[in-house]
Chains A and B, each alone.
Chain A
């Protein structure tokens, strides 16, 4: 395990409270050498962006299981742009229909992981984003 010194802010937006994935992904990221700032539930996009700014994070990880992914992805990317933080990667995961995966990527989300994606693939894809 190499320390990658990359820092994630990881959280959920709005009211969706399913946090299984958030917990597990956070642990996997930490186990593989990333630093994780765990923002937990009930965040606004503004709050996550502020956290990313204060913590000098390189990435924001969002988990979404309630169908609100498109709404919040657009808002989050806009918020990052306004704060001149286009370098911060945005990674999403959760219950996201295939057509929406493409739409999210079109909006500028760097990677999207749907249920059942194996850990090694997730970490490999994330590592690649930072190369």
Chain B
């Protein structure tokens, strides 16, 4: 059913072109005009509690946001080349994605993993893989984000720490982030994805182990990035993204405090990873509201006293969900608007999603364009000259207040149900996500949510011309061979000893922090799946075959 016939379209132009409604993406009705009567509040300066206007007094005058494009594909050697290319064209931080097998604790030769090796990220199953990935890259000079969730984050973090040790880089010089978000990292908090390959309670526990271990040992390292972005990409709205992720963070804080840690010892090392979607003002208001909610929650609910504990720091990725396969160049415009929203909202780092997202991983050219988009905004648009340039706008402040209220309302519902982790385990989160997905799909189908090239301004029989990223053809076979040879050619005895230790801990001493035992196993040359398999076996947990 076409949305409008051609003649209806023509007559709508004659009548004056209008958008179908004036609601935000989350359903808030924008007013025709905002006046002083809509917002007459007080604002503290950027850099002052509750940090609505940003966590720094001078924001981007002090330092621009980090340009941190996600990368990672194929073998670690191939990814190393891409990282070097990105640094050469002006990327300022590394953002390393692992492949699905790595993210599920499977080696490349596991039958169900074979076809996915290296496709959505790079394959990192051994210590030597990490060494190859970071060849010629100084660990103490570039910050790195490692995209992997528990329990696999314990293995990848161990690989990284051991590499630093081998190179003589003290751990307190390391700068970066382990994503390490137990429930929302993988593909958002969808139930089957977070529960099929590892017991969920043990997943959460090992996530906390990683955090607890890093706090004293690598004090400049971020212990968790609460993944709000992947929550959002399931199709939920800005309010849900914020409420789900802050509620989950509250569960992590409670977990660490229960272990006897002082909130001020770790809160400054917790950060977020959020989305910037298409609704410019709503996204800006969302981040301003999140900063305020975080500051107040840490101070009032958790008793944090140090200022840095109250800083809501976030990386942003521009949303991939609104990008289209149709007329793919349009995605450059979308990503630019989203990147602008992230900057106007005062983020700490940005990944601008490639225009080829609906086709493949980004090509080198697309990756460069994403960095250039950020550089043009940074160096040419002048939006970085003043901190929180939209602060005091009746619209933005009114919307910030409204969104804050809605986020807090939803957080209260989650809290009353026993917290986010419990809501997840009981299937409530899954239900919310599925409802949101259907609603979003319906809005696109009905035209309530106009998408240029998809439900309006379509081009019949459009022929798409786009360069596509292609993996090297023998990459998977090589990785499978590699890990099989690796297992054959190492000293087996220390591997077995280290794995037995993890097995016994899992069975008999689950209260102990597993991080040291896992690091010993990586050091002894155990692969990621071997380490995960002993914990699975000790928990009598079967995985899909």
Where the two chains meet, the residues of A that have a C-beta atom closer than 8 Å to any C-beta of B are 13-20, 23-24, 27-28, 40-44, 66-68, 71-72, 95, 97-99, 114-116, 118-120
Where the two chains meet, the residues of B that have a C-beta atom closer than 8 Å to any C-beta of A are 1, 100-101, 104, 106, 111-116, 119-120, 186-187, 190, 192-193, 196, 233-235, 321, 324-326, 358-361, 434, 437-438, 441, 445, 451, 453-455, 464, 466, 468, 471, 544-545
Which 7 pairs from chain A and chain B are nearest by CB? A42-B544, A15-B100, A17-B193, A71-B115, A67-B119, A68-B115, A115-B325
B445–A119 touching, CB < 8 Å: yes
**CB-contact partner of B434 in A14, A23, A120, under 8 A:** A23
Closest to B194 in A: A17
**CB-contact partner of B437 in A20, A67, A72, A99, under 8 A:** A20
B455–A66 touching, CB < 8 Å: no
A17–B187 touching, CB < 8 Å: yes
**CB-contact partner of B192 in A16, A28, A41, A97, under 8 A:** A41
**CB-contact partner of B193 in A41, A98, A116, under 8 A:** A41
Rounded to whole Å, the gap between the CB of A64 and the closest CB of chain B is 10
| A95 CA to B466 CA, complexed, in Å | 14
| A16 CA to B196 CA, complexed, in Å | 13
Closest to A68 in B: B115
**CB-contact partner of B101 in A15, A118, A119, under 8 A:** A15
- A40 cross-chain contacts in B, Cβ below 8 A: 192
Interface of B is mostly: loop
**CB-contact partner of B324 in A41, A43, A115, A119, under 8 A:** A115
B112–A14 touching, CB < 8 Å: yes
B187–A44 touching, CB < 8 Å: no
B471–A17 touching, CB < 8 Å: no
B360–A95 touching, CB < 8 Å: yes
Rounded to whole Å, the gap between the CB of B450 and the closest CB of chain A is 13
A24-B441, A42-B196, A115-B325 known; A15+B360 contact, CB < 8 A: no
Closest to B321 in A: A20
**CB-contact partner of B325 in A15, A28, A99, A114, under 8 A:** A114
A95–B358 touching, CB < 8 Å: yes
Taking A41-B193, A67-B361, A97-B359 as known contacts, 10 extra A-B pairs with beta carbons closer than 8 A to each other, sorted by chain A number, are A13-B115, A14-B115, A16-B116, A19-B187, A20-B235, A23-B437, A41-B192, A41-B196, A114-B325, A115-B325
A67–B455 touching, CB < 8 Å: no
Rounded to whole Å, the gap between the CB of B190 and the closest CB of chain A is 6
Rounded to whole Å, the gap between the CB of A33 and the closest CB of chain B is 17
A97–B438 touching, CB < 8 Å: no
Rounded to whole Å, the gap between the CB of B443 and the closest CB of chain A is 12
B325–A19 touching, CB < 8 Å: no
- A119 cross-chain contacts in B, Cβ below 8 A: 441, 445
Closest to B356 in A: A97
- B114 cross-chain contacts in A, Cβ below 8 A: 14
B115–A95 touching, CB < 8 Å: no
| A13 CA to B235 CA, complexed, in Å | 22
Closest to B453 in A: A116
| A16 CA to B119 CA, complexed, in Å | 9
- A97 cross-chain contacts in B, Cβ below 8 A: 359-360, 468
| A51 CA to B120 CA, complexed, in Å | 28
| A20 CA to B193 CA, complexed, in Å | 12
B441–A67 touching, CB < 8 Å: no
Rounded to whole Å, the gap between the CB of B5 and the closest CB of chain A is 14
A118–B116 touching, CB < 8 Å: no
- B455 cross-chain contacts in A, Cβ below 8 A: 118
- B190 cross-chain contacts in A, Cβ below 8 A: 17, 19
B100–A116 touching, CB < 8 Å: no
| A28 CA to B267 CA, complexed, in Å | 44
- Can you report 17 A-B residue pairs in the complex whose CB atoms are below 8 A from each other? A14-B113, A15-B100, A15-B104, A15-B106, A15-B116, A16-B119, A20-B321, A23-B437, A23-B438, A24-B438, A41-B192, A41-B193, A42-B112, A115-B358, A118-B445, A119-B441, A120-B1
| A14 CA to B104 CA, complexed, in Å | 12
A23-B434, A116-B324, A116-B325 known; A14+B193 contact, CB < 8 A: no
B544–A16 touching, CB < 8 Å: no
A67-B471, A114-B358, A115-B358 known; A17+B186 contact, CB < 8 A: yes
A15-B116, A41-B192 known; A20+B234 contact, CB < 8 A: yes
- B111 cross-chain contacts in A, Cβ below 8 A: 44
A20-B235, A116-B326 known; A15+B445 contact, CB < 8 A: no
| A40 CA to B191 CA, complexed, in Å | 11
| A125 CA to B330 CA, complexed, in Å | 27
Closest to A42 in B: B544
**CB-contact partner of A68 in B116, B186, B468, under 8 A:** B116
Rounded to whole Å, the gap between the CB of A27 and the closest CB of chain B is 6
A20-B234, A42-B544, A98-B464 known; A116+B116 contact, CB < 8 A: no
Closest to B2 in A: A120
Rounded to whole Å, the gap between the CB of A12 and the closest CB of chain B is 10
| A116 CA to B145 CA, complexed, in Å | 31
| A68 CA to B451 CA, complexed, in Å | 28
B193–A16 touching, CB < 8 Å: no
| A36 CA to B320 CA, complexed, in Å | 28
Closest to A45 in B: B115
- A120 cross-chain contacts in B, Cβ below 8 A: 1, 445
| A41 CA to B104 CA, complexed, in Å | 13
A16–B360 touching, CB < 8 Å: no
B192–A19 touching, CB < 8 Å: yes
Closest to B454 in A: A116
| A118 CA to B30 CA, complexed, in Å | 28
- B115 cross-chain contacts in A, Cβ below 8 A: 13-14, 68, 71-72
Rounded to whole Å, the gap between the CB of B70 and the closest CB of chain A is 15
Closest to B357 in A: A95
- B471 cross-chain contacts in A, Cβ below 8 A: 67
**CB-contact partner of B113 in A15, A24, A43, A67, under 8 A:** A15
